[in-house]
Amino acid sequence: MAKLVMEQLTKTYDNKVTAVENFNLTVEDEEFIVFVGPSGCGKSTTLRMIAGLEDISEGAFSIDGKKMNNVEPKDRDIAMVFQNYALYPHMTVYENMAFSLKLKKMAKEEIKERVRNAAEILGLMDYLNRKPKALSGGQRQRVALGRAIVRDAKLFLMDEPLSNLDSKLRVQMRTEISKLHQRLKTTTIYVTHDQTEAMTMATRIVIMKDGVIQQVGTPKEVYDQP
């Protein structure tokens, strides 16, 4: 479970570009929040501040009441899924999913159980010994999701995870990710520039423009306006 509070989050890069300004948002446990907005509006920067991959210039970010500003990424209990999958090409599907758990020195039996559990949920049981290059695009994306699931994290961050897939697969995977969320109920923040994805997946949508929030609401509130 995780409740997030972002208060006046601001990011000014070294080149003086203010990418995000006074970002205020409370995310309730089990929500699926989608950030939408044009390229350059600050979606990734916000996600990266939450993940701890980018310093917060001003403001505060907390998870379940604990201030996270200065907590290392590895101690934030967050799992990320990227657009380019970022799979390790020399490792099998099993090893890709097991890798972060091995780094944590988790017991082998526990790793095995978590990887098998994730593989079953994602339909990857028959592919555990394959390398990424021998997988389809959808299967690779499932492995990337599997790597996030095995960590049993408090929060999923997904940065345009489907934008490298063709449109048919995008529709299919978006349904799969929604089902996954219904099953695991992990609080999720999902970045996309695709309005249809936002409408079909989100509990609430955050529309950003030029580094600020323009609107926050349910898909109905945001898109069904008279």
The verdict on 44 binding ligand ADP (CB under 6 A) reads: yes
The verdict on 49 binding ligand ADP (CB under 6 A) reads: no
The verdict on 94 binding ligand ADP (CB under 6 A) reads: yes
**Least CB distance to ligand ADP at residue 10 (A):** 12
The verdict on 131 binding ligand ADP (CB under 6 A) reads: no
Give the HSE-up count for residue 46: Cα atoms under 13 Å, Cβ half-sphere. Answer: 35
Q: What does the alpha-carbon distance between residue 89 and residue 217 come to, in Å, rounded to a whole number?
A: 40
Which C-beta is closer to ligand ADP: that of 96 or that of 187?
96
Report the candidate in 224, 192, 212, 225 with the shortest Cα–Cα distance to residue 25: 212
**With contacts defined by CB under 6 A, how many residues of the chain interact with ligand ADP?**
19
**Least CB distance to ligand ADP at residue 42 (A):** 4
**Least CB distance to ligand ADP at residue 5 (A):** 20
Which C-beta is closer to ligand ADP: that of 93 or that of 153?
93
**Least CB distance to ligand ADP at residue 129 (A):** 5
Residues that bind ligand ADP (CB under 6 A): 13, 15, 17, 19, 37, 39-45, 94-95, 98, 108, 112, 128-129
